Amino acid sequence: MMMMITTQNAFWILLIFSISMASASTIPSLGGPGIGTNYGRYSSNLGAPEIGINYGRYGSNLPPPEALPSLVTSLSIKHVKTFDMDPRITTSFANTGISLSLCIPNDKIPILSTNLSEADSIIRTFILPYHKTTIITSISVGNEVSLLPQFTPHLVSAVVNFHRAIKRYRLHKKIKVTTTHSLAILSRRFPPSTARFHNSIGESVLKPLVRFLQRTKSPLMVNVYPYLAYKQSFPSIPLDFALFQPVNGSKRRMYRDPYSGVAYTNLFDIMMDSVDSAVKALGLPKIPVVVSEIGWPSSGDPGEVAASLENARVFNQRLVEHLRRGEKKVTVYIFALFDEDQKTGATVEKHWGLLYGNGSRKYDLNISPPV
């Protein structure tokens, strides 16, 4: 149910200013057949939602890699995304039925862009000895480097070269090659139908990259954090809108995009459609999107009250349920498996795990599909 008009208008006027990050250009006309469409609702249609988990290792008390498969299985998760290519981790998931998404470190990107032998060396060292027993589904060439000037000019060539090397070993259909982006690649996010990539990387980086991904049937990986959008926009975005409102709530908030006519009841859908619209604005067809990181922190600095154990449980549980209900599905990797007490920065950075560092659960989360 919609809020009263006066409250709703005040809410969305604030939201426009706080999360749009709009450029000075005027909003384009979206007349014609685009009106009333949702650009795909999501840009992937996988038949069933896949729920994975990110495995970060900035913790002083984390279990050894050998303990990971049983912990991941206990959460009813079958997909793990790592931030490196450690053979000990790859080996630990051998013959478990759990798939891995690996990541090449950022510092390898410049040399990979010009040196095929470096790509070949990585494959021979970190892929060939393990791929027959461990399910490796994708490799991200770097993580969130699209806007970093030391990597931006090299990114597309590095991804293309690594795919070329994978293809030499006839593994390109089994192992997809991509890279991972933050939502900072969007210069305009709101309203979602008007979203755009930054001019500095839209035509020069993202357009050739998305074309490559479409040609190789590989996903566009994007980290999507409703918590960060909520925090940065506080108090403009109501907490329940960021936490996926209860389906049967008596006062459900709804925002209708004035240009597409699409109605939204949560922040996640807005962020996902923003990515779709930005791809469309480049003149490109839809592409499958994998949410490579998403989650909610269970603790933060004093005063950061939205970062709580209960809100983390509610967000992740409702995320799973929302994906199950959706007409089209998207793969997501929840961030993260463990709390990481050695991460730098704000306190909140240390508290995104589903598990404590010792492997015990922080809260109950039902990821198993309904019988």
As a whole number, mean pLDDT of residues 310-332 equals 90
With tokens 């599909």, the residue in question is: 369
User: Which residues are designated catalytic?
Assistant: 144, 293
**∠63-295-366 over CA atoms, to 5°?**
75
Q: What is the pLDDT of residue 246?
A: 87
Amino acid at 226: P
- Burial class for 173, CB neighbours closer than 10 Å (0-12, 13-18, 19+): exposed
**∠359-132-329 over CA atoms, to 5°?**
65
Q: What is the pLDDT of residue 156?
A: 97
* Domains of the chain as residue ranges with CATH: 37-350 (3.20.20.80)
96-115 residue pLDDT tens: 999 999 999 999 999 999 99
Q: What is the pLDDT of residue 327?
A: 67
Q: What is the pLDDT of residue 39?
A: 34
Long-range Cβ contact pairs of 342-351 (< 8 A, separation 24 or more): 342/58, 342/59, 342/60, 343/56, 343/58, 346/300, 346/301, 347/299, 347/300, 347/301, 347/304, 348/297, 348/299, 348/300, 348/301, 348/304, 348/307, 350/299, 351/297, 351/298, 351/299, 351/300, 351/307
Evaluate whether 364 touches 310 at the Cβ level (below 8 Å).
no
Evaluate whether 287 touches 220 at the Cβ level (below 8 Å).
yes
Take residue 131 and report the two structure tokens written for it: 């791929």
First to last CA, the chain: 30
- Structure confidence at residue 251 as a pLDDT band (50, 70, 90): confident
Closest by CA position to 113, among listed 150, 167, 86: 150
276-310 residue pLDDT tens: 999 999 999 989 999 999 999 999 999 899 999 99
CA distance 150 to 142: 12
As a whole number, mean pLDDT of residues 157-172 equals 96
Lowest mean pLDDT among 88-97, 230-239, 286-295: 230-239
CA distance 91 to 232: 40
CA distance 254 to 264: 5
47-62 residue pLDDT tens: 455 899 999 999 999 9
Take residue 59 and report the two structure tokens written for it: 């913790």
Lowest mean pLDDT among 2-6, 146-150, 261-265: 2-6
From residue 274, give the alpha-carbon distance in Å to each of 5, 186, 278, 290, 291. Answer: 25, 8, 6, 14, 13
Residue 316 has pLDDT above 50, yes or no: yes
Q: What is the pLDDT of residue 253?
A: 86
As a whole number, mean pLDDT of residues 228-247 equals 89
Residue 166 has pLDDT above 90, yes or no: yes
325-334 residue pLDDT tens: 876 678 999 9
Residue 41 has pLDDT above 70, yes or no: no
Lowest mean pLDDT among 11-20, 26-35, 267-276: 26-35
With tokens 């020069």, the residue in question is: 204
As a whole number, mean pLDDT of residues 339-347 equals 93
From residue 300, give the alpha-carbon distance in Å to each of 123, 227, 304, 343. Answer: 39, 12, 6, 13
Ramachandran assignment for 40, one of left (phi > 0), alpha (psi -120 to 50 degrees), beta (any other): left
CA distance 295 to 82: 16
As a whole number, mean pLDDT of residues 63-90 equals 96
Residue 340 has pLDDT above 90, yes or no: yes
Q: How many residues does the chain have?
A: 371
